[in-house]
Structure 1
Amino acid sequence: MASTPHTAPAVKPANPNFSSGPCAKRPGWTVEALANALVGRSHRSKPGKARIQRAIDLTRELLEVPADYLIGIVPASDTGAVEMAMWSMLGERGVDMLAWESFGEGWVTDVAKQLKLADVRIIKAGYGELPDLNTVDTDRDVVFTWNGTTSGVRVPNADWIKADRKGLTICDATSAAFAQKLDFPKLDVVTFSWQKALGGEAAHGVLILSPRAVARLESFKPDRPLPKIFRLTKGGKLLGEVFEAATINTPSMLCIEDAIDAMEWGMKEGGLKALQARADANFKVLADWVAKTDWVEFLARDTAFRSNTSVCFSIVDSGITALDTDKQAAFAKAIVSRLDKAGVAYDIGAYKDAPSGLRIWAGSTIEAASLSALTPWLDFAFAEEKAALTQAAA
């Protein structure tokens, strides 16, 4: 096959890690940040508990969590935190399940097919769209993702949640926390994992409970067995020690130290608003590129719903959209592969269950300069792959 005439850009991103999870480490991170981790020590030792408490305290400070909300570190990443809340709290009343991408769909499956609750309303939208939030009844329990990691669609705010609601709101905020404004007074359960906006390590989740959520735990006993790692009460009372640095099972002290390092960096950057501003600035780099590029568009249709972290793109060039679905997917994967091999961008393919295209993490740990360097490479890779496709068809 003849070579194509396009010239590769001269500058590569300083950091090619644009994965949507685990995400890029904070700028300047090296493994030396973990030098003082309490490896080989019990997490229940006095210094071990002190480091866990430090991670909890930093979470409250950096994320601006209300003083009367509880924060715990739990097993199994964000998934574990969401499952713990759903299995422990749902069933007291009807529940509205919101889904517009893969992870929201997963929570629907768990509630409808595993918990098998009798009164479940499923409110859905396709990829790139958001359900009609005005149809949600917050006098029922509500389970939703704040930011759809696999679709790049987020809720614009929490105005649709009543302040005097009777139900609980369970919010999977894993790709929103630290980069988007969470309205805590409207949220009763908030979950996330360090591996997203903090660029931390995987396997641990963070569970934040409002006083209303605690009241539900102490007043409602589910009619189902709960595995040990899901149990948040004993004898009808909250296991308060879970939120006081005594974790349900053994955490990795390396991961704890890494989370502390990331949050201390966030505080030095200027706190929550500074981290949100970094993500917004990163998104603007990508939005400016899309505005002048005719072969790509945001998967999210509405500007108000577009994520500033997990930014998803569709390839809209007419020559590519004319192909069948499998060939469109193969074309997108070829762009991803080309940039991976060039050491320019890693892990930027669309999620396996999402429409074909690209997904670029633009959260707070990404530098805007890296995204500015990436966009010419995206254009180059597209041009190369389209030329190769044209030559193959000739």
Structure 2
Amino acid sequence: MITFAPGPSKVFDQVGQYLQDAFQTGILSANHRSAAFMNLYQETETLFKEKLHVPEDYKLLFTSSATENWEIIAQSIVESSSFHIYSGSFGKKWYTFAQHLNEATGSHKLGTEDALDVAGLEIDGKHDLIAITQNETSNATEVSQELLGALGEKYPDKMIAVDTTSSMGGIALDFSLADIWFASVQKCFGLPAGLGVLILSPKAIAKCESKGESGRYNSLSFMLENAKIYQTHYTPNVLGVYLLKRSMEDHPEIQVTDALVRKRMKELETVIAQSKKLTMLVQNSETRSKTVMGIAGEELFIKEFKKAAEQAGMQMGSGYGPLKPTSFRIANFPAITEQEFENLLKFLKEY
């Protein structure tokens, strides 16, 4: 059974070998204060800069998940309050989580077909950080990097944090457009769940140091203090870091992956556009995700389609929340092989 669910999603086929190698090398027993782990950390950060084109002066940190980063940002970087821009369930969860910690948190909800109107957006001066979900897994929408850039130009004095949970590692991101980026590895990175990544600009690091928040399990100041010497604040997911490092070594630079992901999405869009019973969940190409395809149809047909797909050895991702009965999602992630993708297209055309 091949899963096309958008997370946890299909892992790269090489992961089985990586797991055996991890055991054989002894890294699974390595102390996180040891030279072996410190080298692993440094090599992984270097790969992020080489393969994903993260700026040289940005810092990579490891967390338990993308969700943990919501708390880290709220407690260690936000000084007055944050302002959240979102279109779907995960962006809303980030907003409500921050609001629970700080009642002054503000928000702006986008419609799934509505591109962010940067010119018409007004963010109060009391909000010192803008939190934006670049790729919304729940409803297959995205905010373009052009709009992220425009947002930064309009509000140069505000910190910008970007959730790229289901796009980092799949599409080319211009990390210079924001100060804080985060993701989890179980989506475009094609790895088992259990590891989050957090990328910080020098501006974000300075803001953390200025705020001086400390004393919690995941206080960012504590994490950064250890990261200076390529250690972690507490015992990390060493296996997850090892798998990330090995996978990034074996895969091309992000522009190659980006081209593949965009080509496949165009092919998917063409097939769905020709279907008489299925439509794209997001009609506006400017707000449609490149890494998650949302597909809609009548409830009975969707149920029958998903059942038939499973009989053919393919598991579709269910629609999220209220969209579940009338939609399904397809992960357009790099771990899907060419043959698996061709089988998917053939099934979509024939059913």
- TM-score, with length taken from structure 2: 0.88
Counterpart of 2:47 in structure 1: which amino acid? Answer: L
- The alpha-carbon deviation at position 51 of structure 1 amounts to 1.6
Counterpart of 1:255 in structure 2: which amino acid? Answer: G
Q: Which residue of 2 aligns with 1:370?
A: 340
Q: Which residue of 1 aligns with 2:109?
A: 124
Q: 1:357 aligns with which of 327, 335, 345?
A: 327
Q: 2:306 aligns with which of 328, 336, 346?
A: 336
Deviations 1:107-146 (A, max 9, x none): 111122x11232x331002445445343154964210111
Q: Which residue of 1 aligns with 2:65?
A: 77
Q: Relative to 1, partners in 2 of residues 1:108 and 1:240: Cα closer, same or farther, differing over 3 Å?
A: same
In structure 2, C-alpha distance between the alignment counterparts of 1:48 and 1:296, rounded to whole Å: 49
In structure 2, C-alpha distance between the alignment counterparts of 1:83 and 1:17, rounded to whole Å: 30
Q: Relative to 1, partners in 2 of residues 1:180 and 1:243: Cα closer, same or farther, differing over 3 Å?
A: farther
Deviations 1:58-89 (A, max 9, x none): 12221111111111112x21111232112211
In structure 2, C-alpha distance between the alignment counterparts of 1:147 and 1:22, rounded to whole Å: 16
Q: 2:151 aligns with which of 154, 161, 186?
A: 161
Counterpart of 2:303 in structure 1: which amino acid? Answer: K
Q: Which residue of 1 aligns with 2:184?
A: 193
Counterpart of 2:340 in structure 1: which amino acid? Answer: S
Give the conservation status (yes or no) of the 8 Å contact 2:130–2:161: yes
Q: 1:215 aligns with which of 201, 206, 209?
A: 206
* Most deviating of 182-191 and 247-256: 247-256
Residue 304 of structure 1: SS of its match in structure 2? coil
In structure 2, C-alpha distance between the alignment counterparts of 1:97 and 1:281, rounded to whole Å: 31
In structure 2, C-alpha distance between the alignment counterparts of 1:50 and 1:226, rounded to whole Å: 27
Q: Relative to 1, partners in 2 of residues 1:154 and 1:347: Cα closer, same or farther, differing over 3 Å?
A: same
Matched, 1:55 2:68: no
Q: Which residue of 1 aligns with 2:57?
A: 68
* Most deviating of 36-45 and 333-342: 333-342
**How well do the aligned residues superpose, as a CA RMSD in angstroms?**
2.3
Give the conservation status (yes or no) of the 8 Å contact 1:172–1:191: yes
| Structure 1 residue runs without a partner (length 5+) | 1-14, 321-327, 382-394
- The share of aligned pairs that are identical, in percent, is 25
Give the conservation status (yes or no) of the 8 Å contact 1:279–1:362: yes
Give the conservation status (yes or no) of the 8 Å contact 1:171–1:189: yes
Question: 1:373-384 residue pairs with structure 2 within 5 A?
Answer: 373-378=343-348, 380-381=350-351
Counterpart of 2:170 in structure 1: which amino acid? Answer: A
Q: Which residue of 2 aligns with 1:258?
A: 243
Q: Which residue of 2 aligns with 1:323?
A: none
Matched, 1:228 2:197: no
Larger radius of gyration: 1
Give the conservation status (yes or no) of the 8 Å contact 1:129–1:153: no
Q: 1:282 aligns with which of 243, 264, 278?
A: 264
Give the conservation status (yes or no) of the 8 Å contact 1:102–1:354: no
Give the conservation status (yes or no) of the 8 Å contact 1:128–1:151: no
Q: Which residue of 2 aligns with 1:24?
A: 10
* Most deviating of 93-102 and 122-131: 122-131
| Structure 2 residue runs without a partner (length 5+) | none
In structure 2, C-alpha distance between the alignment counterparts of 1:259 and 1:214, rounded to whole Å: 24
Counterpart of 1:202 in structure 2: which amino acid? Answer: A
Residue 150 of structure 1: SS of its match in structure 2? coil
- The alpha-carbon deviation at position 100 of structure 1 amounts to 0.6
* Most deviating of 152-161 and 130-139: 130-139
Q: Which residue of 1 aligns with 2:286?
A: 304
Counterpart of 1:204 in structure 2: which amino acid? Answer: L
Give the conservation status (yes or no) of the 8 Å contact 2:15–2:243: no
- The alpha-carbon deviation at position 148 of structure 1 amounts to 0.7
Residue 262 of structure 1: SS of its match in structure 2? helix
Give the conservation status (yes or no) of the 8 Å contact 1:100–1:131: no
Residue 359 of structure 1: SS of its match in structure 2? strand
In structure 2, C-alpha distance between the alignment counterparts of 1:42 and 1:334, rounded to whole Å: 51
- The alpha-carbon deviation at position 249 of structure 1 amounts to 2.2
In structure 2, C-alpha distance between the alignment counterparts of 1:332 and 1:171, rounded to whole Å: 33
Residue 227 of structure 2: SS of its match in structure 1? helix
Give the conservation status (yes or no) of the 8 Å contact 1:128–1:299: no
Q: Relative to 1, partners in 2 of residues 1:339 and 1:93: Cα closer, same or farther, differing over 3 Å?
A: same
- The alpha-carbon deviation at position 226 of structure 1 amounts to 5.9
- The alpha-carbon deviation at position 17 of structure 1 amounts to 2.4
In structure 2, C-alpha distance between the alignment counterparts of 1:280 and 1:244, rounded to whole Å: 38
Q: Relative to 1, partners in 2 of residues 1:130 and 1:83: Cα closer, same or farther, differing over 3 Å?
A: farther
Give the conservation status (yes or no) of the 8 Å contact 2:6–2:329: yes
* Most deviating of 40-49 and 274-283: 40-49
Q: Which residue of 2 aligns with 1:324?
A: none
In structure 2, C-alpha distance between the alignment counterparts of 1:175 and 1:243, rounded to whole Å: 28
Give the conservation status (yes or no) of the 8 Å contact 1:138–1:167: no
